[in-house]
Amino acid sequence: MIRNPWSLALAIAIALSLPSGAPSQEANSGFSVPVTIGADARYSRSSDDGGFGTAGLRVVLSPSLQLGSHWFAYAVLNGQSSSYLPYEIGLDTYAAARFTVMQAYLGYRVDFNSASLLIKAGRLASAFGLYPLEYDDAKSPLIEPPPLYTSNLLLRPDQIPCNIADVVSQSYDDDIQFHCGGSNAQRYGLVPVTLYGMPGAEAQLSWNRLDARIQLTNSSPANPQSLLSRSQYVQWAGGGGYSLPGGLHLGVSGFRGPYLDRVLAPLLAPDQRLSDFSADGIGVDGQWSGGRWSLEGEWQRFRFGVPGFLASPSDQGAYIQVKRIVSPRVFAALRSSVEQPGGATDAYGQTTGQTDSRQEIQEFVLGYRVNRLQLLKTGINYTNRSGWWLGSGYNPSEHRFGLEIQFVTSLSGFSKGY
């Protein structure tokens, strides 16, 4: 008897990995279910505590249905153990595993002489940033997503902090607990941009070297909601870019809209509304490839409106990663990231230049393609969280060193053309 969605996802993956039928790529209509199975193990040790190790498993199914020359349907179904990645999102449920519909949408594509238009509706990856569009263990040269997409900020959308001291007293590695009202649930700090999709609609246009996208969703990428939630707000995200000669693509993206949960509405002042407090972000990105080398990076800045604060908390960061193909089977990749929390001012006039420690992360991965279906990655990482002063108190620095290994298998799964 299957007792949880993780077991169900694994069972489906094994069944679909068996070869069946002919490839559908050459057919006008068809159905396919590629499968990606990932297993990882890591050991981490910091300057404050002893070392610890974890191991995890992930299965991703990506069914697609081609309906003629224009219409198609696509989904990404994700099942993973809670220990697969070293970060947490949303409510603290203590679940050993989780199953997530990352994407599930209906699309329509039409091509013109020098342009193409794509319209999608359903559960979509955020149009903000570069990495959400590429989130795939089999394609990413690094083991973990960029820290910009996984760092838990010292904020949550369903509780109100009393003042700055209430914010800076929280711990990055633990649940966030404010003391001036809101939900009683245990919850991790919010992540600026979700990698797990939101209900919405999107239009993408490409013309010669230009590309653009505009997306309307039911909630903020910093606090994604289901269609049954009471905390939904229609808002936008968008981006665009230009491909220069020589393999360089430059892009820009942004989002803006309310992000607080409805549970906070009774706690606001009579002249305030939840829609007065928004989360917004702006980012620039670049990609380049030539010969054996490829390069990409992003810079992003976020601001989060908080009731009772005169100057809202903010966060900014950047990363750059380089990949070098050493041989047909071997590659090396390096990523350097930095995150700098901004300052804030509360209603009492207390001000801080930063709400959390500056964080710098260096990652190095060596990849080996066992065959065309299997990829082995081994890596090391080093994290430095800088010490900083808040009034008369001092938050000490922290250094963390980690070892990681990840094994990814990509299977064509079931496919059938019509």
Whole-angstrom distance, CA of residue 165 vs CA of residue 156: 15
33: phi then psi, degrees, rounded to nearest 5: -135, 80
H or E, element range at 21: none
DSSP code of residue 277: S
The mean pLDDT value for 124-148 works out to: 88
**Contact criterion met (CB below 8 Å) for 300 and 282:** yes
**Average pLDDT of the residues of the chain:** 88
Q: What would the pLDDT profile of 193-242 be if each residue is shown by its tens digit?
A: 998 889 999 999 999 999 999 999 999 999 999 999 999 999 999 999 99
Position 67 pLDDT exceeds 70: yes
Q: What would the pLDDT profile of 106-122 be if each residue is shown by its tens digit?
A: 999 999 989 999 999 99
Percent of residues, the chain, with pLDDT higher than 90: 65
Question: Which tokens is 122 given?
Answer: 């359903």
pLDDT on residue 193: 93
Position 2 pLDDT exceeds 50: no
- What is the torsional sign of CA 190, 192, 196, 201? positive
For residue 69, give the 3-state DSSP assignment. coil
Lowest mean pLDDT among 75-79, 92-96, 241-245, 248-252: 92-96
Position 265 pLDDT exceeds 70: yes
**Contact criterion met (CB below 8 Å) for 4 and 41:** no
Whole-angstrom distance, CA of residue 124 vs CA of residue 221: 11
Q: Which residues contact 238 (CB under 8 A, 6 or more apart)?
A: 127, 212, 213, 214, 215, 253, 254, 255
H or E, element range at 339: strand 330-341
Whole-angstrom distance, CA of residue 200 vs CA of residue 104: 10
- What is the torsional sign of CA 11, 141, 321, 118? negative
- pLDDT bucket at 93, cuts 50 / 70 / 90: low
Residue type, 261: D
Residue type, 114: S
Ordered domains of the chain (ranges, CATH): 5-417 (2.40.160.10)
**Contact criterion met (CB below 8 Å) for 129 and 300:** yes
Q: What would the pLDDT profile of 314-366 be if each residue is shown by its tens digit?
A: 999 999 999 999 999 999 999 999 999 999 999 999 998 888 889 999 999 99
Angle made by CA atoms 189, 195, 196, in degrees to the nearest 5? 95
- Using the structure block, give the residue that is written with the tokens 């041989």: 327
Most confident by average pLDDT, 28-42, 80-94, 139-153, 194-208? 194-208
Position 1 pLDDT exceeds 60: no
For residue 131, give the 3-state DSSP assignment. helix
What are the angstrom distances between the C-alpha of 181 and each of 113, 192, 298? 57, 22, 36
pLDDT on residue 25: 41
Whole-angstrom distance, CA of residue 385 vs CA of residue 96: 29
Q: What is the DSSP string of 143-190?
A: SS--GGGT---S--TTB--SSHHHHHTS-TTS-B--SSSB--S-BPPP
Position 270 pLDDT exceeds 60: yes
Q: What would the pLDDT profile of 285-325 be if each residue is shown by its tens digit?
A: 999 999 999 999 999 999 999 999 999 999 999 999 999 99
